[in-house]
Amino acid sequence: MYDVFVFDGGLKLSKHSRSFLKIQDGCSQFCSFCIVPFARGLNRSIPPQVVLQSLRDLGSQGVDEVVLTGIHLGTYGKDLNPRTSFFDLLRLINFERPVKRVRLSSIDPEEISPDLIALLAGSDFFCPHLHLPLQSGDNAILKKMRRHYTGEYFIDLCQKILEKRSDFCLGTDVIVGFPTETEKAFKRTVQVLKDSGLSYLHVFPYSERLGTKAALFSYPVSLEEKKVRSRYLRQVSEKLRKQFYQKFIGFTRPAILENRRRGLTALTDNYISVEIKDLDQYVVGSLVNVTIEGLTGPIAYGRIVENQSHSAFYI
Ligand code: SF4
């Protein structure tokens, strides 16, 4: 059975260029702050052959990029009989390549194995982009959150990925103002974020979810303090993103044309959103090569180059 959640086989909307294929739902981890396991149930996965068939269908509809999504992707396949893993699924997909490229959505840091890094880094099929939710860089807070890694582990993981491929875009989620988060604990998180080589942050001020363990914790952080810390981290994120974009000025990357709120843009394999002026003759959703020419503030701009393979950025 794979109709354990609403499986749509990949949503392709005419206005959108990429398709999102949800291959897993629910979560069995019960992080202390999270309502998902109560609201969405435990981990359930779509069998590999069904995932592959959906990718074939999307490929035949002309979808060039598919984003594999799930609530807790790293646990994909643990519920299936026979049991399988996210890594094994990716190997199958990589072998067949039913679409032009695949991007992964968020994966928990402790679920990134050396084999997975080698597979992703050694492939021109998987986008060099990973979103690794850290939540906090302070080990005492991580323990209270019921997250099973440390700040040191996270830095080491990011460095290992970037050693293999320096063009990887690494992003993360951070929860700001978790109960008992002192100024010192927050500073530790900031340091971990800065030492990891990340390219952007998604910042979430902690908000209590009734029914979770964390809702019973003492020593809440004030609303005002959460605002101050969040504002600071958003500024850090802007700087990181800009530094990352700057590294690629003058380089050509494969990119998919998208219809965004601010107009037509191209999203590179390593998650740089590039504004393109001369898009009239191109079809939204198609894969092109884009040279990044510069930045206007935080926005990258560039042009499409015909018949040119992208310049690799491996240092
Ligand atoms: S934060 Fe993620 S891993 Fe933790 S319980 Fe929620 S969905 Fe599961």
Atom of ligand 1 nearest to the CA of 108: 3
Atom of ligand 1 nearest to the CA of 35: 6
Q: Count of CB atoms within 10 A of residue 53's CB? A: 13
* 134 in Cβ contact with 154 (< 8 Å): yes
Q: Which CATH topology does 252-305 take?
A: OB fold (Dihydrolipoamide Acetyltransferase, E2P) (2.40.50)
Instruction: Please indicate whether residue 34, judged by its CB atom, sits closer than 6 Å to ligand 1.
Output: yes
* 182 in Cβ contact with 221 (< 8 Å): no
- How large is the average pLDDT for residues 15-38? 91
Domain ranges of the chain: 1-105, 112-244, 252-305
Instruction: Please indicate whether residue 192, judged by its CB atom, sits closer than 6 Å to ligand 1.
Output: no
Q: Which CATH topology does 112-244 take?
A: Transcription Regulator spoIIAA (3.30.750)
Lowest mean pLDDT among 72-81, 217-226, 258-267: 258-267
Q: Would you say domain 1-105 falls under CATH 3.30.750.210?
A: yes
Instruction: Please indicate whether residue 29, judged by its CB atom, sits closer than 6 Å to ligand 1.
Output: yes
Instruction: Please indicate whether residue 71, judged by its CB atom, sits closer than 6 Å to ligand 1.
Output: yes
Q: pLDDT per residue over 76-95, tens digit each? A: 999 999 999 999 999 999 99
CA of 187 to the centre of ligand 1 (A): 24
Q: Is 19 exposed, middle or buried, given 0-12, 13-18 or 19+ CB atoms closer than 10 A?
A: buried
For residue 308, pLDDT beyond 60: no
Same fold, 112-244 and 252-305: no
| ipTM score | 0.99
Distance CA 291, CA 298 (A): 17
Q: pLDDT per residue over 107-163, tens digit each? A: 999 999 999 999 999 999 999 999 999 999 999 999 999 999 999 999 999 999 999
**Nearest protein Cα to ligand 1, atom 2:** 72
**Nearest protein Cα to ligand 1, atom 6:** 34
CA of 72 to the centre of ligand 1 (A): 7
Distance CA 115, CA 92 (A): 14
CA of 19 to the centre of ligand 1 (A): 23
